[in-house]
Amino acid sequence: MIKVSGVTKKYPARLAVDNVSFEVGRGEIVGFLGPNGAGKTTTMRMLTGYLPMNSGTIEVAGFDIATQAREVRSRVGYLPESCPLYPEMRVDEYLKFRASLKGVKSSARRAKINEVKEQCGLTEVGKRIIGQLSKGYRQRVGLADSLVHDPDLLVLDEPTVGLDPYQIRQVRELITQLAERHTILLSTHILQEVEAICERILIINEGKIVASDTEENLHRQLQACSIIEIEIMADKETATREVSALEGMDVRNASELADGWLWLEIEADSASMRVELFNLAVAEGWPLRELSEQQHSLEDTFVQITRDKGAKS
């Protein structure tokens, strides 16, 4: 569905996107992640034809964005981070206007508008003025706009930004439903959305793609480093020194708890080193009440990948 090859975008003062290449297959739901300023929005604007690139090629559904822009746009629905709506228009009026701009035949326009209103939960607000709607409903109007021409690909840039928790849940459920019919490229800072919705993750950092894989496989990249937590009854200074003396271990955090207990967070070469910690506690006579490995979250993976790749560049 998407094929990006060697795409570069330069601004006068900086290189925003640096020789980026990736592919998204038909029917995939892909999360597009990166720190602020990493090049996500620039890449999506080039992908949707709103911003020219300096070099490289972008194909959507087999059409080249540089030479077949009209064909590409007819197959892409784009919801930008700040959705540009006409606040003085009513929802039905706006969607009719947008459908006409996107080439929806007049004979099919009403049926299509009713369909996307139902999909996006807008049936009851069709006669309402957009400027009087809540932010959550305005976001739904933007999503309905991106769907009204029945695109093959949906590109969603921060679709839940500024929404309250209830609205976030509603929009997330809606995106999950849309994924049954559309290829989706989703950019968000809410990593729980990526975990709940996406099948694969792209990570961009400093204008370059630094990871492209499933969440499970990205987590495996961190398995060389395990985080172990231990709670013992011991002197903080002594225990920190003794644990750090073990080869392949480094105490990242230490905190004294109630009743003489001590909590240590340890970075270890592998999870199997818990055995060495157990043996140390026995040898030192430290009462032990917890010894466990932290499970890596997507946030851990994201932070480590972007930190490590940034340090190497």
Sketch out the chain's domains with CATH numbers: 2-220 (3.40.50.300), 226-295 (3.30.70.670)
What are the helix (H) ranges across the chain? 40-47, 69-73, 91-101, 106-119, 135-147, 165-178, 191-197, 215-220, 236-244, 274-284, 298-312
Q: Is the pLDDT of residue 197 over 90?
A: no
Between CA 264 and CA 229 the distance in angstroms is: 6
Q: Is the pLDDT of residue 101 over 90?
A: yes
Q: In what order do the strands lie in the sheet with 29-33?
A: 76-79, 153-157, 183-187, 29-33, 200-205, 208-213
Averaged pLDDT for residues 131-156: 92
For the CA atoms of the chain, what is the radius of gyration? 25
Pair of tokens at residue 208: 């370059």
Give, in degrees to the nearest 5, the angle at Cα 216 between 176 and 305.
105
Q: Is the pLDDT of residue 257 over 90?
A: yes
pTM: 0.75
Name residues whose C-beta falls within 8 Å of residue 16's C-beta, 6 or more positions apart in sequence.
Answer: 9, 10, 39, 42, 207
Q: Is the pLDDT of residue 294 over 80?
A: no
- Predicted local distance difference test score (pLDDT) of residue 296: 66
**What phi-psi label fits residue 311: left (phi over 0), alpha (psi between -120 and 50 degrees) or beta?**
alpha
